[in-house]
Amino acid sequence: DTFATEDAIKIGRLHCVREGWDDALVSFMLSGGFSPSSKVSTIDAPSLVMWGRQDGILDGTEFANKFVETLPNASLRWIEECGHVPHLEQPSETANVISEFLWGEELQAVTAAAQNTKGDDSSSFPVGYVAAGASATAALLGIAANLN
Protein backbone atom coordinates (compact mmCIF):
# COMPACT_ATOMS: atom_id res chain seq x y z
CA ASP A 1 0.00 0.00 0.00
CA THR A 2 1.06 3.55 -0.62
CA PHE A 3 -0.43 6.67 0.91
CA ALA A 4 1.50 9.05 -1.32
CA THR A 5 0.37 10.66 -4.55
CA GLU A 6 2.38 10.03 -7.72
CA ASP A 7 3.95 13.50 -7.34
CA ALA A 8 4.92 12.76 -3.72
CA ILE A 9 6.53 9.49 -4.79
CA LYS A 10 8.56 11.30 -7.46
CA ILE A 11 9.69 13.95 -4.97
CA GLY A 12 10.49 11.32 -2.33
CA ARG A 13 12.76 9.48 -4.77
CA LEU A 14 14.65 12.48 -6.19
CA HIS A 15 17.70 11.76 -4.05
CA CYS A 16 17.93 8.28 -5.60
CA VAL A 17 18.70 9.67 -9.06
CA ARG A 18 21.45 12.03 -7.95
CA GLU A 19 25.01 11.35 -8.98
CA GLY A 20 26.82 9.28 -6.36
CA TRP A 21 23.65 7.83 -4.81
CA ASP A 22 24.56 4.22 -5.54
CA ASP A 23 28.00 4.56 -3.91
CA ALA A 24 26.52 6.39 -0.93
CA LEU A 25 23.89 3.69 -0.44
CA VAL A 26 26.50 0.91 -0.51
CA SER A 27 28.66 2.84 1.96
CA PHE A 28 25.66 3.37 4.23
CA MET A 29 24.76 -0.31 4.21
CA LEU A 30 28.37 -1.38 4.85
CA SER A 31 28.53 0.98 7.82
CA GLY A 32 25.79 -0.98 9.55
CA GLY A 33 22.93 1.22 8.44
CA PHE A 34 20.97 3.76 10.41
CA SER A 35 21.71 4.63 14.01
CA PRO A 36 21.33 7.95 15.81
CA SER A 37 24.55 9.90 16.18
CA SER A 38 26.24 9.95 19.57
CA LYS A 39 25.50 13.69 19.58
CA VAL A 40 21.74 13.07 19.67
CA SER A 41 21.87 12.18 23.36
CA THR A 42 23.26 15.65 24.14
CA ILE A 43 20.08 17.35 22.95
CA ASP A 44 18.16 18.18 26.10
CA ALA A 45 15.46 20.37 24.54
CA PRO A 46 11.97 18.96 24.19
CA SER A 47 12.01 16.95 20.96
CA LEU A 48 9.34 15.55 18.69
CA VAL A 49 9.86 12.28 16.84
CA MET A 50 7.23 11.71 14.14
CA TRP A 51 6.99 8.47 12.23
CA GLY A 52 4.67 7.07 9.60
CA ARG A 53 2.92 4.07 11.12
CA GLN A 54 3.21 2.10 7.87
CA ASP A 55 6.81 3.11 7.05
CA GLY A 56 8.15 0.26 4.93
CA ILE A 57 11.65 1.74 4.62
CA LEU A 58 12.63 2.26 8.27
CA ASP A 59 10.53 0.24 10.69
CA GLY A 60 9.27 2.68 13.29
CA THR A 61 9.02 0.14 16.09
CA GLU A 62 12.78 -0.22 15.83
CA PHE A 63 14.09 3.10 14.56
CA ALA A 64 11.63 5.61 16.03
CA ASN A 65 12.20 4.01 19.40
CA LYS A 66 15.98 4.40 18.96
CA PHE A 67 15.46 8.14 18.79
CA VAL A 68 13.05 8.22 21.72
CA GLU A 69 15.46 6.14 23.81
CA THR A 70 18.46 8.28 22.79
CA LEU A 71 16.91 11.75 23.14
CA PRO A 72 16.57 12.62 26.83
CA ASN A 73 13.36 14.65 26.41
CA ALA A 74 11.55 13.18 23.39
CA SER A 75 7.99 12.24 22.62
CA LEU A 76 6.86 10.00 19.77
CA ARG A 77 3.85 10.73 17.58
CA TRP A 78 2.74 8.22 14.98
CA ILE A 79 1.23 9.47 11.74
CA GLU A 80 -1.47 6.99 10.76
CA GLU A 81 -2.05 5.76 7.21
CA CYS A 82 1.42 7.00 6.37
CA GLY A 83 4.64 5.53 5.09
CA HIS A 84 8.16 7.00 5.00
CA VAL A 85 7.39 10.61 4.05
CA PRO A 86 4.74 12.05 6.40
CA HIS A 87 5.15 15.59 5.08
CA LEU A 88 4.18 14.38 1.59
CA GLU A 89 1.70 11.61 2.45
CA GLN A 90 -0.18 13.29 5.30
CA PRO A 91 0.83 16.98 5.15
CA SER A 92 -2.11 18.35 7.14
CA GLU A 93 -1.77 15.81 9.96
CA THR A 94 2.01 16.30 9.99
CA ALA A 95 1.57 20.07 10.25
CA ASN A 96 -0.99 19.65 13.04
CA VAL A 97 1.33 17.39 15.04
CA ILE A 98 4.20 19.86 14.64
CA SER A 99 1.95 22.77 15.59
CA GLU A 100 0.69 20.97 18.71
CA PHE A 101 4.28 20.29 19.70
CA LEU A 102 5.47 23.85 19.10
CA TRP A 103 2.55 25.39 20.94
CA GLY A 104 2.45 22.75 23.68
CA GLU A 105 2.94 23.63 27.33
CA GLU A 106 6.34 21.96 27.68
CA LEU A 107 8.00 23.81 24.79
CA GLN A 108 6.27 27.06 25.72
CA ALA A 109 7.68 26.77 29.27
CA VAL A 110 11.20 26.13 27.95
CA THR A 111 10.86 29.04 25.52
CA ALA A 112 9.59 31.38 28.24
CA ALA A 113 12.43 30.39 30.57
CA ALA A 114 14.99 30.99 27.80
CA GLN A 115 13.46 34.38 26.99
CA ASN A 116 13.49 35.37 30.69
CA THR A 117 17.14 34.33 30.97
CA LYS A 118 18.06 36.45 27.97
CA GLY A 119 15.83 39.35 29.01
CA ASP A 120 13.80 38.90 25.84
CA ASP A 121 10.18 39.84 26.32
CA SER A 122 8.99 39.01 22.82
CA SER A 123 5.97 36.79 22.44
CA SER A 124 6.75 35.51 18.98
CA PHE A 125 6.65 31.99 17.62
CA PRO A 126 8.42 29.57 19.99
CA VAL A 127 12.14 29.14 19.53
CA GLY A 128 13.03 25.84 17.95
CA TYR A 129 13.10 24.00 14.69
CA VAL A 130 11.50 20.77 13.66
CA ALA A 131 12.87 19.04 10.58
CA ALA A 132 10.03 18.68 8.14
CA GLY A 133 9.40 18.80 4.45
CA ALA A 134 8.30 21.87 2.57
CA SER A 135 4.63 20.80 2.49
CA ALA A 136 4.39 20.42 6.26
CA THR A 137 6.38 23.59 6.87
CA ALA A 138 4.11 25.59 4.58
CA ALA A 139 1.01 24.16 6.26
CA LEU A 140 2.50 24.84 9.70
CA LEU A 141 3.26 28.45 8.82
CA GLY A 142 -0.34 28.80 7.70
CA ILE A 143 -1.53 27.46 11.06
CA ALA A 144 0.86 29.78 12.91
CA ALA A 145 -0.35 32.79 10.92
CA ASN A 146 -3.93 31.97 11.89
CA LEU A 147 -3.01 31.60 15.58
CA ASN A 148 -1.32 35.01 15.85
Residue range 57-83: average pLDDT?
A: 89
Separation CA 86–CA 109 (nearest Å): 27
User: Is residue 82 very low, low, confident or very high in pLDDT (cuts 50, 70, 90)?
Assistant: very high
The phi, psi pair for 50, rounded to 5°, reads -110, 140
Q: Report the b/e string of 67-81 with b at 16+ CB within 10 A.
A: beebbeebeebbbee
Of 120 and 98, the one with more pLDDT: 98
pTM to 2 decimal places? 0.66
Query: Taking 90 as the threshold, does the pLDDT of residue 41 lie above it?
Result: no
pLDDT value of position 130: 44
pLDDT of residue 119: 61
The percentage of residues in the chain with a pLDDT greater than 90, rounded to a whole number, is 18
Q: At residue 148, does pLDDT exceed 80?
A: no
Distance CA 54, CA 58 (A): 9
